[in-house]
Amino acid sequence: MTSPAGTSRRDMLTGAASLGLAAFGLTAFGLTAALPGTVRAAPYDGNAWRRYAERFLLPEGRIVDTGNKGISHSEGQGYGMLLAVAGGDRAAFDRLWGWTQRVLMVRGDGLVAWRWTPDGGVADRNNASDGDMLIAWALLRAAETWQAEAYRTAAIAIVKALASGLLVEQGGLTVVLPGRDGFRKGDTLVLNPSYWIFPAIRAFAALPGGERWGKLSDSGLVLLSKARFGGFQLPPDWMTLDASGTVGIAEGFKKQYGYDAVRVPLYLALDGYRDPYYFRPFSTLAAKYGGKAVPATVSLPGGTTTQVAASVGMLAVYRLACQLAGAGGEAVTVPPLAPDEDYYSTTLAHLSALAAQSLGIAP
Amino acid sequence: MTRPVLLPALLLAGIAVAGGGAGVWSSAWAQSNGGARALAPGVKVEVAPAPGSGSAPAAGKVDETALRYYARIGDGERLEAEIARLRALDPSWEPPKDLFAPQPTTAGVDESPFWTLLSAGKVAEARAAIAEQRRKSPSWQPSDKLLQELDLAESAGRIRSASDTKRWQEVVDAAAAQPEAVACNRLDNAWRLAEAYAELKQADRAFDTYKTIVTTCPKAKERRDTIFKASRYLKPEQLRELSALGATSNPATGEDYSSVRTAEAELETGRLLERLGNAKPGALSAADLSRVQGIVRDKQDADGAIALGWYFQKQKNYAEAQSWFSQANGWAPSDKAAEGLVLAYNGLGEKAQARAAAEPWKGKSSRIDQVLKAVDPPRGPSTPGGGRSAPQGPSELDRALARHDFAGCIAIIRSSIERSGPTAALLQQRGWCLLELKRPSEAEAAFVEAQALAAREPAPKPAKGGASATGKGSDRNPAASGPPQTPTREQENVYGQAIARLTTGDVTGLTRDLPRANLTPTQKAEIRASLMATEAGRALEDKRYHDVLRLLDARREIEPEPRNLGILRGWALYNLMRYDEAYAQFKSIDDRLSTEDSREGVSTAWKTIYHDW
Amino acid sequence: MPETARRAALWAVLAAATLLTSGCAGWVRDNLTQSPTPWRRIQPAALPVTLGESRDFPIVAARMRDTGAVYKTYNVALGNPTTLPGENRLTIDVQTLPDSLFGALVQPPRVFPVPLYTMETLTVTTRREFPDMKVKVADAARRNRYGDYDYATAQDEQNTCVLAWQLINDHKRMLPERIEAVRVEYRVCGVGSNIRALLAPFDGMTLTLPETILEAQDLGGL
């Protein structure tokens, strides 16, 4: 299944990882550029970035969530910055980072306020850990790509703030709280499996003093093995972890697998994981629906599905999962992005393409 | 990787259709689970613990990883089974002598860390480590055996959690996805599967699953436990069939199946005894009744005898009742047995006998003091004749009390009060009857009223004036030293109020008032014991297990521990991870009279100790 | 829009949690606050309910207990003119909104289920409350000052019993801001067969919580 070219790319990736460098950087962003000949087609490239920027990047430097009343948030800024680095557009990157610093980094603790609305400005000062992680990771990527130490310094500041305020030990595991405030109910934590952005965590672990991030990564895999519910054995969008290390589906949130947790296989793939065990729940779900009208959410543990179908970007994630689970990528039909495809779907589609490239299974 | 089609899968497909297939199915099941009988005789393993003392012969040909895993976790049965399996694959193969030494396996990756995690029950951690390894070495693949064991462990976990959360269809689905997870050496999973079928109203499949277990799993204890498990779902005749099958099918040498044969009868007895308490007269068939009697006699089960006594007492068959209460008192003397005995004699009109039966407990047990009132009723103005213990038959009220007819008690007292006004004695008796009817608030009020009235009544005589007829009336003065002290009427009223408050859950208030309450030392001790029992129950709910033991220990100084508190003690020990003690505790209760509660304790503790979930 | 749904749901919860925990850095684990306190006696005058004078069903005792900072449960034992087992009673559970940041995060499990009864749980309850009696669930609801309520009846040769239950959770019109819900349950047995007489105290009951609960009649539109 793996082409010879793919194999060699994997080997180089492994080598890079063992040197303690950010694996994702060298492959998806670095290698693609360095070894254009080995890539048959580049589904995500400078052109893709320009189209993305035209649709979602406003002149002042914010990514607009078109599916959500034109608001902006730290997650969007992070995704935008990552895609800008991968698209080689430093000017756009600077605009994004500038707006993020200026408008969202108003908490005073180095973390990013998560939500901004056109009417009210910063609407919620709490942070969202995945947004912080994406931004810091994009900064590290930028520092490497453009050899700019300032980005790296800024990234380290965010990583340190995250480590001191959001990393927590519980039940023998190191976990990341979804936000600085809230998420503790008694001695039980509320966690979000899709906040384990494995390639970002690996990049943070490679920084001086980054050992706890290494543990976070290990714990993430353990949690993803434990947090399997319902007939498809899917992770919930929101889960609990009690002091004894037992996981559950969080109360007070929608008890479902859905828009959040769909990113779990994406982030695993982006970090070079390829153990079919971790991708099988998603491929099983996709296969059940013939790889087409996959439901956007599945209630857990009951298994009730919505009428709403998965977006193009989500289908792209499912194709990736099927390939890694050994079910074959052809099991899922991914239509082209629509002209009015929304921000989240488009972002997932591009990141899936990057992951497939980095694993050598693209297109 | 293809797996052999395992016959357990048939179970899920509904083997009920294929009546004749059961034999084949059974033997294959036992075999696939490493049942000892499936092994070739004379298989022996030599184990040299020192690592590196020899190299594995035929390395590379035979996959020994699972073998080493079983050796490491000390699972002798599966170790032998695996040896037999490998021998069958390659007759020239010999088991390695260095089973405990870590071995590098395929492609330069040492699988032993994963096996170690797995054997420590850290399945998720093993999965994580494997994924990490595969990320680092994309060309490496874990061995099929390792993946299979992981799948098995996970399926077992899935079956467990689905059944814990009553998602029965998922239990069936998970078992279907991994039929090997349902087997004799994973008996708990098999039980859960059967339970799931039963809950899904697929009675035939539930029965077939239980039947498969009792006919294939070799251990007598497991077969017996299975019958107890099945009792929740199966009809008596099905249980009888299970018992018979379990006692005879596929016997393993060295196992004694007699306990399997009796399981159904014991179960029936336990159930009948539990029902006896509220049974209407004649509710039990003669056959049922004689079976219960037989077993109670065989086991010299005092609690069972008391239950039988009450059964007959309610039918006004006082002679039969008397004989069972006597029997119970002979096997294990208790105030409960004496209470019944007193009332049975009273029903027979043998008052002297009744008093004699009460004698050992008089003044020590409120239960007995209370019941003595039926023998020698406290007299007030309302008592017909009014005079001093004129010889007479038991009054209407006495008879109601002797029948445990508390509604009758209330009605009689009410009409008596309507006729000739209240007396302290009547109100007090009303309090006791209300308590029996689980109306403690009104009971408390009745005792308060009785107390107020008693204060106005002229010269309250000692509460049990009539009791002097029992002879030995040397000292009736409550103020005199030396136990036991007979409570005054006021003390009786205060005591009644305390019991009522206890029943309504007014623990805090009662604890506060107890030291100042006018009670005899015996009464006070009894209330204290009850308060401690209530506190212990609360402590268990709050997960303060040390407190539970502390309270129960203190309580046990005052009076013997009843069954339900014994069970409570068992769970406290269990939750403190003192599993051996918990098991012993549950077992000793279960051995006396097996009920659902005691069985659950025994089986849970047993499974925890022996990792047999 | 699916994303909208995702965002809205998620961050609404988060925002609430954020508000309530800010400044609550040191976490003290306190399991005990979540289990009910023991019952304590209170004077009938301290009850948040007034029942009409009744010869058959006088107040015998009143008790209350707390569960966490959120629930207060009142149990009023009433006289029982029959010889049947079991206390006549009125039970009131008042669920308040937590008044502390802390209380919002550590809410005890609800002390009553919603819906209050299913056919199964009702069967279990009536069998326990009224053993050996003929039980019938009323087809139509009745109405008291606080709106509609449902009830079941049980009868034998001499006596009749009723079990009535009611959940008051109309925030828009009836309940004060601080009160999330009130559950009332009434269980009474009496001599004879007059169901209406048995229900009379429940029909006439007035809740007297610190903040006024508007009565259904007050609200013209109901």
**Catalytic residue list of A:** 130
Mean pLDDT of A76-82: 97
pLDDT cut 90: percent of chain B above it? 25
pLDDT for A152? 96
- CA dist B315 and C24 (Å) reads 65
Q: Are residues B169 and B145 in the same domain?
A: yes
Give yes or no for A288 touching B (CB within 8 A): no
Q: Which candidate from A14, A233, A275 shows the least CB-CB separation from B131? A: A275
Closest in A186, A253, A342 to C13, CB measured: A253
Are residues B285 and B210 located together in one domain of the fold? Answer: no
Torsion A102-A106-A110-A112 (CA) sign: negative
Token pair listed for B519: 């009670």
pLDDT at B274 over 50: yes
- Nearest 10 degrees: CA dihedral of B219, B225, B227, B230? -130
Q: Do C38 and B441 touch (CB under 8 A)?
A: no
What does the H/E/C string look like for chain A? CCCHHHHHHHHHHHHHHHCCCCHHHHHHHHHHHHCHHHCCCCCCCHHHHHHHHHHHECCCCCECECCCCCEEEHHHHHHHHHHHHHCCCHHHHHHHHHHHHHHHCCCCCCCCEEEEECCCEEEEEEECHHHHHHHHHHHHHHHHHCCCHHHHHHHHHHHHHHHHHCEEEECCEEEECCCCCCCEECCEEEECHHHCCHHHHHHHHCCCCCHHHHHHHHHHHHHHHHCCECCCCECCCCEEECCCCCEEECCCCCCEECCCCCHHHHHHHHCCCCCHHHHHHHHHHHHHCCCCCCECCEECCCCCECCCECCHHHHHHHHHHHHHCCCCHHHCCCCCCCCCCCHHHHHHHHHHHHHHHHHCCCC
CA distances for B267 relative to B187, B191, B237, B596, angstroms = 20, 17, 12, 9
Question: What's the pLDDT score for residue B378?
Answer: 60
Length, in residues, of chain C? 222
Question: In terms of pLDDT, which residue wins out, A116 or C30?
Answer: A116
- Give me the mean pLDDT over the A19-23 stretch: 33
Q: Average pLDDT in the B370-376 region?
A: 77
Local structure of residue B151 (DSSP, 8 states): H
Of A230-239, B45-54, C151-160, the range with the lowest mean pLDDT is: B45-54
Q: Is A183 touching C (CB cutoff 8 A)?
A: yes
Q: What is the pLDDT of residues C177-206, one digit of tens each?
A: 888 899 999 999 999 999 999 999 999 999
What is the pLDDT, as a whole number, of residue B314? Answer: 79
Mutation target for C interface from A68, A185, A187, A192: give the one with most C CBs within 10 A.
A68
Nearest Cα of chain B lies from the Cα of A229 at a distance, in angstroms, of 9
* Residue contacts between A and C (CB atoms, under 8 Å): 66
More confident residue, A61 or B74: A61
Please tell me the predicted confidence (pLDDT) of residue A183: 85
User: CB–CB of C4 and A179 under 8 A?
Assistant: no
Q: B574-586 b/e with 16+ CB inside 10 Å = b?
A: beeebbebbbebb
Contact B160/A at CB under 8 A:
no
Tokens encoding B242: 């299970």
Amino acid identity at C24: C
Q: B151, B127 in Cβ contact below 8 A?
A: no
Instruction: For chain C, positions 59-98, list CB contacts with chain A under 8 A.
Output: none
Mean pLDDT calculated for residue range C71-79: 94
pLDDT of residue C28: 34
The pLDDT value recorded for residue B497 is 92
Of B135, B137, B158, the CB nearest to A273: B135
Q: Which of A28-32, B160-164, B295-299, C113-117 is predicted least confidently? A: A28-32
**Are residues A186 and C22, on separate chains, in Cβ contact within 8 Å?**
no
Query: Does C157 contact chain A (CB < 8 Å)?
Result: no
Domain of B321, in residue numbers: 257-376
Mark which of B255, B288, B306 sits at the end of a domain.
B255
Q: Which stretches of B146-232 are assigned E, i.e. beta strand?
A: none
Residues of chain A contacting B123 with CB distance shorter than 8 Å: 225
- Confirm whether B343 is domain-assigned: yes
Whole-angstrom distance, CA of residue C97 vs CA of residue C67:
13
CB pair distance less than 8 Å for B131 and A277: yes
Q: What's the gap in Å between the CA of B72 and the closest CA on chain C?
A: 40
How does the average pLDDT of chain A come out, rounded? 85
pLDDT score of B294: 84
Enumerate the domain spans of chain C: 28-216
State whether B323 and B291 are in the same domain: yes
| Range of weakest confidence among A313-317, B66-70, C74-78, C183-187 | B66-70
Residues B155 and B192 in one domain: yes
Burial B397-431 (b: 16+ CB within 10 A, else e): bbbbbbbebbebbbbbbeebeeeeebbbbbbbbbb
CA distance B452 to B22: 75
Cβ-Cβ contacts under 8 Å, C4 against chain A:
67-69
Assess whether B247 and B270 both reside in one domain.
Answer: no
Do B273 and B361 have their domain in common?
yes
Is residue B335's pLDDT more than 90? Answer: no
Q: Does A343 touch chain C (CB under 8 A)?
A: yes
- Which of B123, B130, B134, B135 to substitute to test the interface with A, most A CBs within 10 Å? B135
Domain assignment present for residue B158? The answer is yes
**pLDDT above 90 coverage of chain A, percent:** 65
Q: Mutation test of the interface with chain C: which of A72, A74, A126, choosing the one with the most C Cβ atoms within 10 A?
A: A126
Q: What is the pLDDT of residues B125-135, one digit of tens each?
A: 999 999 999 99
CA distance B544 to chain A (A): 17
Residues 297-316 in A contacting C (C-alpha not used; CB under 8 Å): 297, 308, 311
Domain shared by B261 and B371, yes or no: yes
Name the closest residue on chain B to residue C33, using Cα atoms: B542
**B318 shares a domain with B178:** no
In this structure, is the dihedral angle defined by the CA atoms of residues B142, B148, B150 and B155, taken in order, positive or negative? positive
How far apart are alpha carbons B75 and B36 in whole angstroms?
A: 12
Is B474 part of the contact surface with chain C (CB cutoff 8 Å)? Answer: no
**Number of domain units in chain B:** 3
**What share of chain C in percent tops pLDDT 90?**
42
Name the closest residue on chain A to residue B173, using Cα atoms: A231
Asked if pLDDT for residue A240 goes beyond 80, the answer is yes
CA-to-CA distance for A343 and A68, rounded, in angstroms? Answer: 9
Whether residue B404 lies inside any domain: the answer is no
pLDDT of residue B333: 85
Residues C60 and C78: beta-carbon distance below 8 Å? yes
C4 near A CB under 8 A: yes
Query: Is the pLDDT reported for residue A40 higher than 80?
Result: no
Indicate whether B159 and B294 sit together in one domain: no
Q: Which of A65-79, A296-310, B469-483, C99-113 has the lowest mean pLDDT?
A: B469-483
Measured distance CA(B217)–CA(B30) in Å, rounded: 7
| Domain end point (choices B376, B393, B428) | B376
Domains in chain A: ranges and CATH: 41-165 (1.50.10.10)
Would you tell me how many other CB atoms lie within 10 Å of the CB of residue B469?
A: 14
B539 touches chain C (CB under 8 A): no
Q: Which of A109-113, A121-125, B361-365, B366-370 is modeled with the greatest confidence?
A: A109-113
The pLDDT assigned to B283 comes to 65
Q: Answer yes or no: is pLDDT of B140 > 50.
A: yes
Q: Is residue B80 part of a domain?
A: no
Q: Tell me which residue in B127, B135, B173 faces A277 most closely, judged by beta carbons.
A: B127
pLDDT value, residue B395: 76
Q: Rounded to an integer, what distance in angstroms lies between the CA atom of residue B212 and that of residue B205?
A: 10
Range ranked top by mean pLDDT from A122-126, A347-351, B85-89, C110-114: A347-351
Domain identity same for B223 and B274: no
CATH code where residue B279 lies: 1.25.40.10
Q: In angstroms, rounded to a whole number, what is the distance separating the alpha carbons of residues B157 and B118?
A: 13
Q: Would the CB atoms of B170 and A218 count as touching at under 8 Å?
A: no
Q: How far apart are CA A253 and CA A301, in angstroms?
A: 14
Same domain, B134 and B158: yes
Is the distance from CB of B536 to CB of B568 less than 8 angstroms? yes
Give the other-Cβ count within 10 Å of B385's Cβ: 10
**What is the tens place of the pLDDT at every residue in A171-229?**
899 999 998 877 887 789 999 999 999 999 999 999 999 999 999 999 999 999 999 99
Looking at B235, B255, B275, the residue that finishes a domain is B255
- Does residue B390 surpass a pLDDT of 80? no
pLDDT, average across residues B565-571: 93
* Residue B385 is assigned to a structural domain of this protein: no
- Asked whether residue A103 carries a pLDDT value surpassing 90, the answer given is yes
* Identity of the residue numbered A133: M
At B178, is the secondary structure helix, strand, or coil?
coil
Residue B78 lies in a domain: no
CB contact under 8 A, C86 and B439: yes
CA distances from B27 to B36, B77, B239, B439 (A): 12, 16, 22, 59
In this complex, is the C-beta atom of C200 within 8 Å of any C-beta atom belonging to chain A?
Answer: no
| pLDDT over threshold 50, residue B344 | yes
Tell me the helix, strand and coil percentages in chain C, rounded to 5: 25, 35, 40
What 3 state SS string does B265-325 have?
Answer: HHHHHHHHHHHHCCCCCCCCCHHHHHHHHHHHHHHCCHHHHHHHHHHHHHCCCHHHHHHHH
Query: Which amino acid is present at B563?
Result: R
The Cα B599–Cα A91 span in angstroms is 73
Task: Give domain status of residue B211, yes or no.
Answer: yes
What pLDDT, on a 0 to 100 scale, did the predictor assign at position C104? Answer: 60
Q: What integer pLDDT is reported at residue B473 of this predicted model?
A: 33
Q: Domain check: are B169 and B291 in the same one?
A: no
Instruction: Name the pLDDT band for A328 (thresholds 50, 70, 90).
Output: confident
Q: What is the 3-state secondary structure (H, E, C) of B342-410?
A: HHHHHHCCCHHHHHHHHHHHCCCCHHHHHHHHHHCCCCCCCCCCCCCCCCCCCCHHHHHHHCCCHHHHH
Q: Extract the tokens encoding A111.
A: 């973390």
- Spatial separation of the C-alpha atoms in residues B145 and B300, rounded to whole Å: 52
Look at phi and psi of residue B285 and say left if phi exceeds 0, alpha if psi is from -120 to 50, else beta.
beta
Cα B464 from chain centroid? 40
Mean pLDDT of chain B: 77
What local confidence, expressed as pLDDT, does residue A222 receive?
97
DSSP assignment letter at B59: B
Burial C110-143 (b: 16+ CB within 10 A, else e): ebbeeebbeeeebeebbeebbeebebeebeeebe
User: Does residue A3 sit at the B interface (CB-CB below 8 Å)?
Assistant: no
Please report which confidence band the pLDDT of residue B547 belongs to, taking 50, 70 and 90 as the band edges: very high
The HSE-up count of residue B309 (CA atoms within 13 Å, CB side) is 27
